[in-house]
Amino acid sequence: MDGKVVRVRAAVKLAPVNDDYPNKRSVLLLAEKILAPLNAGQVQAESTMRVRDFIENVYLPHVQKNLHASTYKDYKKDVYEKHLKIRLGDIRLRDFRTVMGQRILNAIAEQNDDVGHKTLLRIKSFMSGCFKHARRSGFIDTPNPMQDVSAPGRPKKFTGELYTIAEISNILEALESVESPASVVVGVASFCGLRMSELRGLRWEDFDGSTLTIRRAVWRTTVSEPKTAESAASVPVLPTLQKVLESYRAKVSGKPDEYIFAGSRCGAPLNLANLARRVIIPALAKWSDEHEQLLKWRGWHAFRRSLGSSLYALGVRDVVIQSILRHSDLNVTLGYYVKTPTDETVQALQKIEELFRVT
Q: What is the 3-state secondary structure (H, E, C) of the chain?
A: CCCCCCCCCCCCCCCCCCCCCCCCHHHHHHHHHHHHHHHCCCCCHHHHCEHHHHHHHHHHHHHHHHCCHHHHHHHHHHHHHHHHHHHHCCCEHHHCCHHHHHHHHHHHHHHCCCCCHHHHHHHHHHHHHHHHHHHHCCCCCCCCCCCCCCCCCCCCCCCCCCCCHHHHHHHHHHCCCCCCCHHHHHHHHHHHCCCHHHHHHCEHHHECCCEEECCCEEECCEEECCCCCCCCCEEECCHHHHHHHHHHHHHHCCCCCCECCECCCCCCECCHHHHHHHHHHHHHHHHHHHHCCCCCCCCCHHHHHHHHHHHHHCCCCHHHHHHHHCCCCHHHHHHHCCCCCCCCCHHHHHHHHHHCCCC
Say what the pTM is. Answer: 0.72
- CA 244 to CA 236: how far, in whole Å? 14
> What's residue 314's pLDDT?
73
> What's residue 47's pLDDT?
81
Cβ neighbours for 192, distance < 8 A, ≥ 6 positions apart: 212, 235, 237, 241, 307
Closest Cα to residue 158, out of 335, 283, 350?
Answer: 335
- CA 268 to CA 148: how far, in whole Å? 46
Q: What is the mean pLDDT of the chain?
A: 87
Instruction: Please compute the mean of the pLDDT values over residues 4-27 and round it to a whole number.
Output: 86
| pLDDT at residue 342 tops 50 | no
Burial category of 270 from C-beta neighbours within 10 Å (exposed 0-12, middle 13-18, buried 19 and up): buried
> What's residue 89's pLDDT?
93
> What's residue 311's pLDDT?
79
The band of 160, judged by pLDDT with boundaries at 50, 70 and 90, is confident
Instruction: Please compute the mean of the pLDDT values over residues 16-37 and round it to a whole number.
Output: 88
Q: Which amino acid is present at 175?
A: L
| pLDDT at residue 166 tops 70 | yes
Among 27-41, 138-152, 256-270, which stretch is predicted with the lowest mean pLDDT? Answer: 27-41
Burial category of 166 from C-beta neighbours within 10 Å (exposed 0-12, middle 13-18, buried 19 and up): middle
Cβ neighbours for 228, distance < 8 A, ≥ 6 positions apart: 326, 328
CB-CB contact of 272 with 199 (8 Å) = yes
| pLDDT at residue 169 tops 50 | yes
| pLDDT at residue 161 tops 90 | no
The band of 321, judged by pLDDT with boundaries at 50, 70 and 90, is confident
- CA 133 to CA 342: how far, in whole Å? 47
Closest Cα to residue 75, out of 88, 63, 86?
Answer: 63
> What's residue 36's pLDDT?
79
| pLDDT at residue 316 tops 60 | yes
Burial category of 327 from C-beta neighbours within 10 Å (exposed 0-12, middle 13-18, buried 19 and up): buried
Instruction: Please compute the mean of the pLDDT values over residues 224-237 and round it to a whole number.
Output: 88
Residues forming a β-bridge with 92? 50
- What does the chain come to in residues? 359
| pLDDT at residue 82 tops 60 | yes
